[in-house]
A and B are shown apart, each in its own frame.
Chain A
Amino acid sequence: MYMIFEKALAQMLEQPYLLIVLTSLSIGLTAGFVMHRSDFCVTACFRDVFLFRDFFLMRQMLLLVVVSMVLFEVGRLTGAITIYPFPLLGPPSLGNAIGGFIFGIGMVLAGGCVCGSLFKFGAGSTSSLLAVVGMLIGSAVYAEIHPQWSAFAKSAVLIKGAITLPQWLGLPPSALLLPLAASGGFWLYREFRAGRMLRPAFAVGHLAPWRAALILALLGFTSYVLIGMPMGITTAYSKLGAVIEAVFAPEHVKSLAYFSLRPLNYTPPFSALSITGGPGSQLDAIAAIQYALLIGIVAGALFSSVRLGEWRLQWRLPHRQFISALTGGLLLGLAARMAPSCNIWHLWGGVPILAMQSLLFLAGLLPGTWIGALLLSRFVIR
């Protein structure tokens, strides 16, 4: 067993894996640190709109999307981005919106999304650890229903043969992206001028969210240029779920079709070799990309909170919140596979290139967040 692991690890550290692992790890470390210092929580961006009518964080999210839109398009036009649209995207399906809807409920109940829970866990939050455990369970549960869900998602494809909105409309990407980015940029400029992109902060070592948005957009761009796709993390949860489930029921895991899929099959930038990856427990391209990112985010937030002297495991939690975090995590894990993927992948990666799957995910995420906020304020926080 150890020999197999050692061999797989050695293979991962060969090209093109070395560049992928180092890039993902560096991006994760930086993102974890930045998100902790700025409290850049995607869940809060959406939830606070419904719960408090507070649009402050949503403006920062828009800044991230607009800057990513410009960076990705400039990257495409200059040839820095070679794979367009990026791998793992498909035609839009009603399944994307349903996945987004469940994801919205889950992220509010969990107190953070797939990525937010990781950085909060790194900073010592046990409720976020519970959410992560819930996500692992949810991912494993999805494997049981994959054949049925996959058949539904395929039958509910809305537009065949097109991945992005410009592709569907038969337009060059710039024709839609540049006017959109310019309009968004102009609006954000006015928000800056009006002082609505800043607010007082008292936390030690605080990083203004607008600066975090710029850094996170740059990290997404770096990931796209060097790895061939923006940040994504959720398949790693399936892989980990498969590893854990295999300890208790190895034959059952082997029998599940989902864990033998290899949806990622591409030739990364700066490489002549094509690589593959999937949700099963094997160390493959997905493992190289997402495990490194996952470890980086947790470690970056851990480093940040230890440096500030704020790290502490906090177990004292009302039992309703334990249940909420675990249930929310379970819904997140399930929805992240149904959608497929999470808000980071869709909002920071797909929406900036107007991927229709991502736009549908967003359309589902909004009402899901609203329902989640209702459930949270009525049944969880009392």
Chain B
Amino acid sequence: MTQMINLDIRGQICPSCLLLTLRELNQNGAAIRTGHTEVVVLTDDRQSTTTIPVTAERMGYRTEVVRIDLGYRIRIFGGI
């Protein structure tokens, strides 16, 4: 059973999305890498649909960006 960490950062000032996501990645890195945990970010900040995947993938995670109603959902999950 994969544990989900949900981050709803809609409406917050820049660069909350990337900073708060990085904090979760740093705190839960091992669990995310083994596939036990996923981080799901809800955001309406268009820039974070680029910065979060680029940064997370540079750290070795996989990402998926999906458009949702009035925003985006970014999923960060299991390592390589």
Contacts and interface: CB of A to CB of B under 8 A. Distances in A.
Interface of A: 36, 39, 41, 43-44, 47-48, 51-52, 54, 110-112, 125-127, 199-204, 206, 309-310, 312, 314-318, 321, 324-325, 377, 380-381
Instruction: Give the one of B12, B18, B20, B71 with max A CB within 10 A.
Output: B12
A374 to B, nearest CB: 13
A47 B13 contact: no
Contact of B11 (A203, A317, A380, A381): A317
Interface in B1-46: 10-16, 18-20, 44, 46
A356 to B, nearest CB: 31
30 contacts: A36-B46, A39-B46, A43-B14, A44-B14, A47-B15, A48-B15, A111-B13, A112-B14, A126-B11, A127-B12, A127-B13, A200-B53, A201-B49, A202-B50, A202-B65, A202-B72, A204-B67, A206-B50, A314-B11, A314-B44, A316-B11, A317-B11, A318-B12, A321-B12, A321-B13, A321-B16, A325-B13, A377-B19, A381-B12, A381-B20
A316 B50 CA distance: 23
B44 A324 contact: no
A41 B47 CA distance: 9
B70 A309 contact: yes
Interface in B53-73: 53-55, 65, 67, 70-72
Interface of B: 10-16, 18-20, 44, 46-47, 49-51, 53-55, 65, 67, 70-72
A340 to B, nearest CB: 25
A44 B19 CA distance: 13
Given A202-B49, A324-B13, A381-B12, 17 more contacts: A41-B14, A41-B47, A110-B13, A112-B14, A202-B53, A202-B72, A203-B46, A310-B46, A310-B70, A312-B44, A314-B11, A314-B44, A315-B11, A317-B11, A317-B12, A381-B16, A381-B19
Given A310-B44, A312-B44, A314-B44, A203 B13 contact: no
Interface residues of chain B: helix, strand, loop or mixed (majority)? mixed
Given A310-B44, A314-B44, A381-B20, A44 B50 contact: no
A311 to B, nearest CB: 8
Chain A interface mostly helix, strand, loop or mixed? loop
A123 to B, nearest CB: 9
A314 B10 contact: yes
B46 to A, nearest CB: 4
Contact of B46 (A112, A206, A318): A206
A324 B70 CA distance: 25
Nearest to B66: A202
Nearest to A313: B11
A316 B10 contact: yes
Nearest to B10: A314
* Residue with the highest number of chain B CB atoms closer than 10 Å, among A126, A199, A324: A199
Contacts of B51: 48, 52, 54
A111 B13 CA distance: 5
B30 to A, nearest CB: 22
Nearest to A51: B15
B9 to A, nearest CB: 10
A119 to B, nearest CB: 11
